[in-house]
Amino acid sequence: MPRPTPYVGRTQRSKPIWLMISIIWMEMIHYSWFIQVNESYAYFSNGAEISNEMD
């Protein structure tokens, strides 16, 4: 019984670190994807506005 206790303590100690790393990684991917979508949306909306003004 005393053998799995240090393993459980180690997993509980390293769990939040991997959780934070995965959350930060996912947030970075989501943030970069969000910026790309916003830039493309702004580009298309500006292009449509410019084409409407030219017409």
Tokens of 29: 């991917």
* pLDDT value at residue 27: 87
pTM equals 0.34
Angle at 52 between CA 47 and CA 53, to 5 degrees: 100
List, for residues 28-40, the tens digit of each pLDDT value. Answer: 888 888 888 878 7
33 alpha-carbon distance from chain centroid: 8
- Give per-residue pLDDT as tens, 2-55: 555 555 555 555 668 888 889 898 888 888 888 888 787 777 776 665 555 555
